[in-house]
Amino acid sequence: MYYGEIKDCDIANGEGVRVTLFVSGCTNGCKGCFQPQTWAFDYGRPFTAETEAKLLAMLAPNYINGLTLLGGDPFEPENQRALLPFLRRVRERLPRKTIWAFTGFTYEQLLADGSHPRCEATDELLALLDVLVDGPYVEQLHDISLRFRGSSNQRLIDMGETRRAGEVVLWDDHIPTFDHISHNREED
């Protein structure tokens, strides 16, 4: 697997301050994609043991909420196979960090037997995620008011609640309002 970029203090691609890995390779080719250079599977640098060690060190500080996987597409089968051992290590060493992944595939496509991109790594990879942002970017549905996604068809799926409920449960955007913050301060 190759990757195009690593961001060490990202606040745009998930809740809190995150480390973000932009993997290479995507077959979706969404019109208006903001990173079309990452469609090539050999774009950027090889993802090595040194890359993993660097990412784990970047994730360690308390102010880092977690890891976000973007692309390209982390759910291309080649990328799933490379990411799975790494995510196992993240969960083992840093169990309190959240893991978010963005994919141009829908959750239903990831579960459908015999469909691209489903492979032998898919179920375990999904089990390691806290939030999955799914669905292709649709330029006609672009909406700058949305948090953590580019078009209104994309969903933020709470994977823990989805596993418990056995059906898709959307992530609850916990943005505190000014009134909520003021109210809490008055109680202190």
Q: State pLDDT tens for residues 41-94.
A: 999 999 999 999 999 999 999 999 999 999 999 999 999 999 999 999 999 999
Average pLDDT over residues 17-31: 94
For 140, 149, 186, the CA distances from 145, given in Å and listed in that order, are 14, 9, 30
pTM of the entire structure? 0.88
Distance in angstroms (rounded) separating the CA atoms of residues 154 and 134: 5
Report yes or no: 17 and 65 within 8 Å, Cβ to Cβ.
Answer: yes
Contact between residue 38 and residue 71 where contact means Cβ atoms under 8 Å apart: yes
